[in-house]
Amino acid sequence: MVEAIIDRYFNVISYTDSSYIGYFRGDAEELSRKMQDELARMDVYAAIDRVVDAYRVTLLHIPPQKKKIWVHFLLVFLTFITTLYAGALHAGVDPFKNPVDLLKGLPFSLSLMLILGLHEMGHYLASKRYGIKATLPYFLPVPHPLIGTMGAFIKVKSPITHKDALMEIGSMGPIVGFFVALPVSIIGISLSKIVPVSSTAGHLKLGTPLVFNILTHIVHGTVGKGYDIMLHPVAFAGWIGMFVTSLNLLPVGQLDGGHVSFALFGEFHRVISRIVFMVLLVLGFFWPGWWFWNFMLLLLGLYHPPILNHVAPLSSKGKFLGFLSIFIFFITFIPIPFSV
């Protein structure tokens, strides 16, 4: 079956140690992507590069791995509980005094988990589309009164085949997450109240991304001098969704933005990664959380690993997704997310 797929796209001249040397039966850029996609659905991954005036296709077999579905459901349940508790506190109640009040945290919990969950499902379904092995989302519950979670993630278990696959896997999470956070934010802002600034003294102040300012102006008009908006828990969930989207779209390493940057700009992504790292170092003087984030980026790696296809460039659709992701990054980025 594998040989039949290769023969459909590739004219083999010689074969040694799982490597085929030859020519594609047509446009190499298009056919190399199609061949990789078909092979990946059979758990076979093809590395493709040029050798002198021909092409080399090297097959990599990734053995199937056992899935522990119960772990994902357990983490979803625990995250629901921790975000429910955080939401109840944002609603102004103490569920330890009256456990029924815990239900008042539902709007925040469901809104936030919807944004985070669909963000990760965007990655997961894009991976499935290209035959790339990936886990279901892992939610990260944290018993913290502010948000109750550290987000969610999926693990990619096989090599990324080509730039289109890399772009779609990297971009669909934040794109889907953003377009879910958008209506959540609109609903939440409409439920939020305009209050005197004096009544918020000493409270945690949230930085506002450009898109949040625009939505606030559309819903409430111009907020008068000496007044501010007290966010409803649903609006806060939308704000977190925007913040998480911008964090993931930082064009560094293997973050979503790193995938986008590598697919769009190739090796130039290294320069972009270093620039972003230095910018975050400076921003750390205004919000120290950026220093922690930079430390995490160093642990994860500032640079993106290569993909298997060294022949096919990014398609027009892939470029559109890439520039849409960059646009979303700029309208959701918050230089100083928290202050008092």
Same domain, 50 and 177: no
Same domain, 9 and 104: no
Distance (Å, rounded) from C-alpha 260 to C-alpha 220?
Answer: 35
- Per-residue pLDDT, 151: 93
Same domain, 184 and 306: yes
Same domain, 14 and 159: no
Question: Which of 16, 40, 61 is where one domain is finished?
Answer: 61
- Per-residue pLDDT, 312: 94
Same domain, 35 and 131: no
Same domain, 17 and 80: no
Distance (Å, rounded) from C-alpha 252 to C-alpha 73?
Answer: 30
Determine the 3-state secondary structure of 170 from DSSP.
helix
Average pLDDT, the chain: 92
Structural domain including 187 reads 69-339
pLDDT band at 25 (very low <50, low <70, confident <90, very high): very high
Please, are residues 259 and 270 in contact by the beta-carbon 8 Å criterion? no
Structure tokens at 290: 């950026």
- CATH for 43: 3.30.1360
Query: Closest by alpha carbon to 259, among 182, 180, 334, 175?
Result: 175
Same domain, 12 and 109: no
- Per-residue pLDDT, 199: 64
- Per-residue pLDDT, 78: 97
Q: Tens digits of per-residue pLDDT, 59-110? A: 988 877 777 899 999 999 999 999 999 999 998 888 888 888 899 999 999 9
Element (H, E) at 141: strand 138-141
Give percent of the chain with pLDDT exceeding 90.
78
pLDDT band at 10 (very low <50, low <70, confident <90, very high): very high
Same domain, 304 and 187: yes
Q: What is the mean pLDDT of residues 211-221?
A: 91
Question: Which of 39, 61, 83 is where one domain is finished?
Answer: 61
Structure tokens at 301: 């790696």
Please, are residues 176 and 118 in contact by the beta-carbon 8 Å criterion? yes
> Which range, of 16-25, 109-118, 167-176, averages the lowest pLDDT?
16-25
Same domain, 318 and 194: yes
- Per-residue pLDDT, 138: 96
Distance (Å, rounded) from C-alpha 87 to C-alpha 101?
Answer: 10
pLDDT band at 247 (very low <50, low <70, confident <90, very high): very high
Same domain, 6 and 143: no
Q: What is the mean pLDDT of residues 49-68?
A: 86
- Per-residue pLDDT, 99: 86
- Whether pLDDT at 340 is above 70: no
- Per-residue pLDDT, 101: 87
Give percent of the chain with pLDDT exceeding 70.
98
Tally of structural domains, the chain: 2
Name the one residue in this structure whose structure tokens are 């939401």.
Answer: 87
Please, are residues 148 and 76 in contact by the beta-carbon 8 Å criterion? no
Same domain, 17 and 137: no
Same domain, 90 and 53: no
Most confident of 112-116, 140-144, 296-300: 112-116
Determine the 3-state secondary structure of 98 from DSSP.
coil
Alpha carbon separation from 182 to 87, 171, 214, 241 (Å, rounded): 19, 17, 11, 9
Q: Please list, in sequence order, all residues whose beta carbon lies within 8 angstroms of the beta carbon of residue 222, skipping any fewer than 6 positions away.
A: none
Q: What is the mean pLDDT of residues 128-156?
A: 93
Question: Which of 61, 88, 105 is where one domain is finished?
Answer: 61
- Per-residue pLDDT, 201: 61
- Whether pLDDT at 329 is above 70: yes
pLDDT band at 280 (very low <50, low <70, confident <90, very high): very high
- Per-residue pLDDT, 5: 94
**What percent helix, strand, coil does the chain show, rounded to 5?**
55, 15, 30
- DSSP letters, 186-228, are HHHHHH-EEEEGGGGTTS-EE---HHHHHHHHHHH-SPPTTEE
